[in-house]
Structure 1
Amino acid sequence: MGAASELHLTQPAVTKSIKELEAQLGVQLLVRSGRGVRFTDYGEILLHSARRITAEMESAEQAIAQMKSATPSTLKIGVSLLSATVPVYAALSRFRARWPQTQLEIMEGMPRQIIDSLRSGEFDLCLAFIADSDSIAEFAFIPLARWPQRLMYSGDVNDASLQALSASQWLWNHTAESWLPFWQHLAAGETSAPPRQMTLCTSWTIYRQLALEPNTVSIWPEFLLHGDNAPHALTPLRFALPEITLGFMVRRDHVFSRATEHFIECVKAELK
């Protein structure tokens, strides 16, 4: 009924359209129950595609309108919390000097929020760190720089085995879903159970403070272990960790504007 009201149609007409779409695709898109209507897995896929198509149509209409009226364009960039620690301010200055009429919108957020917004077309591109184990097949990825990761411990280490360290407090700065694959990579060939005490924290201001608490194991990108704000009180542990790559994620169907291409080149130049 809500859809019918939004579309200025009758409810039977909307139901008929949905039935015809389901018949055309050969799958059920909606599940109806006493609690309401929800999408099936097939419906969710179609919903994401429809949002992307709608966003691309709106983007095309805006681009044409801007060309006709010479109004400023907008470049919308999503930034993950970890990638926000990379100093790319000079790249922004260089871009604004070349494209002063382009309005920049830079939004910081959790990795899942960033990806959902990119998928729905709210962002043109996203700056994020990607581990080798991350699955981003639905997006194109433009790598910019690559860093090792280090396992660090607060205080002196008497026993640096994983079995002993599993009794410590662990800090994790990625998604909850990526924690177990990381631990399995770290404990390859061993039977150590995952630590019972794991804190997920994507705020680097809070993460830095938590990492200094006694008997805490934390994971750090190499570049954050240098400079004035580096956590010098931490002890490095001798474990091989997978590297992470900083780069731009974009929708595979996204058409780059000249301003977008120049912004990417500015960031590349800054990280060389």
Structure 2
Amino acid sequence: MFVMLGELFKKKFAVRINWWNFYVPIFHNLVKLLHHAENPYIGWMVRRAALINDKKIHFTQGTVIPLEAELNKKGSQGSTVMPIHLVEKLIREAPDRYIVHRCLCRDGNNCQDFPHDHACIFLGQGSHVTYENGISRKASVEEAIEHLHKGVELGLICQCLWIEAEQYFWGFPKDKMQNFLEVCFCCPCCCLSLNSCKKITEVFGDRIQSIGWEARVSGDCIACGKCVEVCPMHAIVLGEEKAEIQGRCIGCGLCASNCPTDAMELYQKAPLKDDIKDYFWGFRPDV
């Protein structure tokens, strides 16, 4: 019964291009509601509605991929495969690619720092509904990889995400839920998953993981505070003489790319796996 009602809801109310401006404030306020997931009184309802209440049955998760190859070379353990190559491989092997016209997170927060029209890429047959509803365009392998590299130029954070509750926004059919994956280009100010990772640490935090890279501080740090400002996890603080990493680093690389003295670098603490899909637990996306 509930499955039938859910599928009916998706057919009637999934985001369509002509409804976009209607959904933007709804999405923004739902995100704010999600931040109450650890509330002792209503948290259980929020977690259940967001489909993040039980890791045994709800597999919402994502991986953070540092895109800048030059940064990665500093700390690489000799591997010629860089994280961005894994994303390129994912795009090449996907049977379908759809580039969304606008970023719902940035529209919802009226972002002033990053372009709203550089949005995510949906991969897989389950993503076709975004094209049917007019919110994305079909893309070739070359167009999708060009879009990926544009994200590098803009200084955005790349995440590969599978967010179960998003089926109700985008309209993914229940029988196609394993056939989609989202390649997101996130700004630290507006991104739903990054902000949820920061604010809902117990429930959501461990669902977003690094693919094995972390930041560290070298002796050239001048304690300018640039890294502190851009860290999406608030994991960096200023010590007496230099910046210090005291929180959970997800290896996004923003600190390194914004450091004026190259004092921040990413290092590879674990070997890369063969495929982005190898990082997912509980199921393997089929895209």
Give the TM-score taking structure 2 as reference length.
0.25
Give the TM-score taking structure 1 as reference length.
0.26
